[in-house]
């Protein structure tokens, strides 16, 4: 099988796309964890204080809201550097 044949294989393309999305999501979660942890946790302790927990929840929620806003804006205005994509929004519970 040549590289051209491999590149044209729809099953392989689907697998690559799914793995790429998974990698992006993992990078996003890692960055979010790092950013919110640095912002909210003054000093590590045996238990998570309620103030720290509230800060972490708010930080994550702001990040999700901002990400959804940017994605929606880029989908509505592809000229801003975005393109319509199949990526889904983050679902906040």
Domain boundaries along the sequence of the chain: 3-80
Residue 88 has pLDDT above 50, yes or no: no
Distance CA 89, CA 65 (A): 10
Q: Is the pLDDT of residue 90 over 70?
A: no
Residues 51-77: what's their mean pLDDT? 90
Mean pLDDT within 72-78: 84
pLDDT digits (tens, 9 = 90+) for 4-39: 777 788 888 889 989 999 998 899 889 888 999 999
DSSP state of 79: G
Sorted by sequence, the CB contacts under 8 Å of residue 68 that are 6+ apart come out as 89, 90
- For 3-80, CATH gives 1.10.287.810
- Does 84 have pLDDT greater than 60? no
Whole-number Å distance between alpha carbons of 10 and 12: 5
Q: pTM above 0.85?
A: no
Instruction: Give the Å distances, CA to CA, from 31 to 26, 44, 86.
Output: 9, 19, 22
Q: Identify the residue with better confidence: 24 or 80.
A: 24
Query: What is the overall mean pLDDT for the chain?
Result: 82
């Amino acid at each position: 099988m040549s590289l051209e044949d491999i590149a044209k294989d729809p099953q392989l393309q689907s697998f690559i796309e799914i793995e790429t999305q998974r990698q992006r999501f993992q990078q996003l979660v890692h960055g979010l964890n790092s950013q919110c942890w640095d912002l909210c946790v003054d000093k590590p302790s045996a238990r998570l204080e309620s103030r720290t927990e509230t800060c972490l929840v708010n930080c994550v929620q702001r990040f999700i809201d901002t990400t959804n806003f940017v994605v929606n804006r880029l989908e509505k205005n592809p000229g801003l550097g975005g393109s319509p994509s199949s990526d889904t929004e983050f679902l906040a519970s």
